[in-house]
Amino acid sequence: MAIMKWKILPHDSGAALKSAERMGIPPLLAILLQTRGMTEDDESKGFLSTDTRFSDPLLIPGMEAAAGRINAALDSFEKIAVYGDYDADGITATAMLYSYIESCGGNVIYYIPDRESEGYGMNTGAVDKLKEQGVNLIVTVDNGITSVEEIAYAKSLGIETVVTDHHRPREVLPQAYAVADPYIKGAGCPFKDFAGVGVAFKLIMALEGSDCDVTSLLENYADLAAIGTIGDIVELRGENRMLVREGLRFMGRTDRLGLKAVMEAAGIDPGSVTARGVLFGIVPRINAAGRIGSPDRAVRMMISEDPEEAGALAAEICEDNDYRRGIEEEIYNDVIDILDKNPAFTYDRVIVAGGRDWHPGVIGIVASRVTEKLGKPCVIFSFMGGEARGSGRSVEGFSLFEAVCACKDLLTKFGGHPMAAGMSMPEENINEFRRRINAYAASLPEPMPAPVLNIDCMVKPEKLSVDIPSYFKYLEPFGTCNPYPLFGLRSMQISDITPVGGGKHLRVSVKRGGCTVRCMRFATTLREFGYAAGDTVDLAVALTAKEYNGKNTLSIVIRAMKFSDDKTSDLINGINLYEKLKRGEELTAAEAGAMLPLREDFAAVYRALKSTGGYSGPVEVFTHRVRNARISLEKLLPILDIFSECGLVRIKKSAYTYNMEIIPQSTKADLTGSATYKLLNKYKKAGGV
C-alpha cells in the first residue's frame, strides 16, 4: 500500500462545545460536523435536518423547455425514447424516467448503448435504430451534453432531442430542442452536483408542474435515485443527501421485484440498508450487466412486474457480477505481475500497463485498484485487433483528463474528468503514450501529489466508548464529502499481535497510560505486518458498535498505522528521490549525497537483516529495525538495491512491500562496485546539475 500523508482535519473544540450546547447535540458530533466544513449552527442544522424541500426544478437551465416538449409529446402520443447509459447512474435514470412516462400513458421505449460496440453516449447507429422504430423524440439521461454531431444527425432525420445531463458542457452545446444541465454557464440553481439520476428526478418534478407532490415522487423513485447517486460517487450534500437518505429509507420496503432479489443476493437486510451496502452490494451488480453482457437487462430488472422475469434477470446479473469479479482478479494479478517484472513502470509518475484481450469492461476497476495500491495515477489498456482501449484513474490533485489531453494527437477517442478518463489509440502508440503522459506529469510546476488520509480527530484511548458510533447515525448517509468518521490514536505501544481467521487477519492490542485497546487489522498476515510488540505507533481507526452475547461492544478496526516518530512527508520525499534515481533522471550533488550510503550504513542494515533472518513487510517499517542507526528511506532503498546487485540479499517486492532474505556468502562483496553505488558516487563527485 502506498504511503499516505496523514491530515488531521481542522476543528475548534471550544466552538464545537458551545455549538453542541446550543443545538443539544453531543460535542463529538459537533466536531464531526466541523470537520465536514460546517462551522455555523445553521449549516449544521441544515445538514442534520430530515426536511425534503427541493429547490424549484425550473432553476436548472433548459428544464422548463425540456418539460414542455415532453408534455407536448405525451399529449400528442408521440413515440419517446429514453436514451441512457450502461452504468448504475444511467440505468437507474433510464428506469426512473421510463417508468414515469409510462405511468402517464406515454408511448415510450428505452435505449441503452452497448459498452463494447457503441461506447458511451449517443451514436448515429443508435439514432438510425430509433428512427426505424418510429421515435419522434429522444430524451437523454446521464449523457448528451457533448453529443453535438449525433443530435444534429437525429434532427436531420426529423427526430427532436431533449438533453438532460450532469456532465460539464463543452464550449458548443448540442442543437437540441432543450438542454437541461445544472452546469450550463449562468445557471442559477442553488445545487448543481447531481448525478444523472438526480437531474432526471428534477425533470419529473418539472413535468409534474406546480402541483408536484414531492413526497409521492420520493415514495415511487427515491430508491432508484439513491442507487444512481451513490453509484456515481457524487457529493452527498444538499439535495443529493436528501435523495439518498429518503431512498435508503424506502428501499427497505421497495416494491421493485428485481431490486428485492438483488438485495437478497447481496446479503442486504431490507430493514437496515446503508449507502455502503448499496455501493458495494447493489451498484456492482447493476454495473456488471453493462460490463459483461447486455446492459438493458438491468433496466428490465428494475421495471419488471413479473416475479419470474425479475428473479431470473436478477440471478443472471448476479452471475455476471461473480464472473466480473473473477476476470477482474485475473487481470489485476496480471497487471501486478507485469509491474513486478518491469519495475521501471512502477517508478513512473503515471503508471501505464496493458495486456492482450483483457476484458475492456473491467480494466477501469483494475486501474482503480492499482492506483489505490501504488498511490499513483494509472491507465490500463486492453489490446484488441490492433487497437488499445484504455481506462484510467487518478489521485486527488492530478487531472488525468488534462494529462490525456496533452497526448490527444496519439488518440482516436478520449474523454473523462480529473479523476478518471477513457481513451483508445492504435496499439503501436502505447509506448509513446507512456512517455508523453509521464513527460506531461514531469513538466508540472508541483511534484506529483501523494494520497492523503483524512482523520477527523485524535482521541485518547480511555475516551473510547461504545456510545461513540451511536452519534454517527445523525451523519448518515456516508459517501463522497461525508466519509465514515476516522479517528486517530497517538503514541500507542503494541503489546500483543495475534493471528485470527486462519491467519488471514490480526488482532492487535495497543496500550498507553495503563489503558489497553484491542483492534482488528483485516486482510493482513503476520508476515506482511512488519510491526512488532514494543513498537510505538499512531493508528487511524474506524469505530462500530456490534452486539456480542446480547451486549453492545465497541469494534475498533485499524485502517492505517505508522511509527509515531515518523514524518510521512519525509518518507514520501525519500520515495520520490529514490524513484527519480530509478527513472534515470540526473541528481544534484546534495540529492546524491543524501542517498549515498556510508560503510557504517551498510553494516547496520546488514546486521538488522541477519539478526532477524530476513524481513517481510512495508519497507518504511524496516528503517526502525536498524539498531543504533536511523536510516532514512532515501538511503535504505539504494542500500537494498546494492545488496541485491552484489548477491548479498534476495529481494522480492511488490510496490513498497519487501520480502528479503540473506544469501550465504563465501567471499566478501565489493559494494562500491555495484551499479547503483557507482551512479550515486558519480553524481556526488560531479556536483550534480
pLDDT at 1: 66
What are the cell numbers at 262?
438483488
pTM: 0.87
52-96 confidence digits (pLDDT tens): 889 999 999 999 999 999 999 999 999 999 999 999 999 999 999
Question: Cα(626)–Cα(636) distance, rounded to whole angstroms?
Answer: 10
Is residue 611 classed exposed, middle or buried when 0-12, 13-18 and 19+ CB atoms within 10 A define those classes? exposed
pLDDT at 688: 46
Q: Sheet holding 137-141: strands in order across? A: 107-111, 79-83, 137-141, 160-164, 178-180
Asked if the peptide bond before residue 61 counts as cis, ω within 30 degrees of 0, the response is no
Q: For residue 419, is pLDDT > 90?
A: no
**354 pairs with which residues across the strands?**
381
Question: Cα(224)–Cα(198) distance, rounded to whole angstroms?
Answer: 10
* Residue-wise DSSP of 48-73: H-----PPPGGGSTTHHHHHHHHHHH
Is residue 9 classed exposed, middle or buried when 0-12, 13-18 and 19+ CB atoms within 10 A define those classes? middle
pLDDT at 326: 94
176-210 confidence digits (pLDDT tens): 999 999 999 877 889 999 999 999 999 999 999 98
Q: Say if CB 636 and CB 651 are below 8 A apart.
A: no
What are the cell numbers at 646?
552484489
Angle between helices 675-686 and 633-645 (to 10 degrees): 130
pLDDT at 629: 67
Greater confidence (547 vs 212) lies with: 212
Q: Is the dihedral of CA 309, 312, 315, 318 positive or negative?
A: negative
275-333 confidence digits (pLDDT tens): 999 999 999 999 999 888 788 999 999 999 999 999 999 999 999 999 999 999 999 99
Q: For residue 689, is pLDDT > 60?
A: no
Q: For residue 507, is pLDDT > 90?
A: yes
Phi, psi of 687 (to 5 degrees): 85, 10
Q: Which domains does the chain have, with CATH numbers?
A: 57-251 (3.90.1640.30), 342-443 (3.10.310.30), 454-563 (2.40.50.460), 568-686 (1.10.10.10)
Which residue is listed with cell 524481513?
A: 615
Q: Say if CB 160 and CB 138 are below 8 A apart.
A: yes
519-538 confidence digits (pLDDT tens): 999 999 998 898 999 999 99
16-40 confidence digits (pLDDT tens): 999 999 999 999 999 999 999 998 9
Question: Cα(137)–Cα(68) distance, rounded to whole angstroms?
Answer: 13
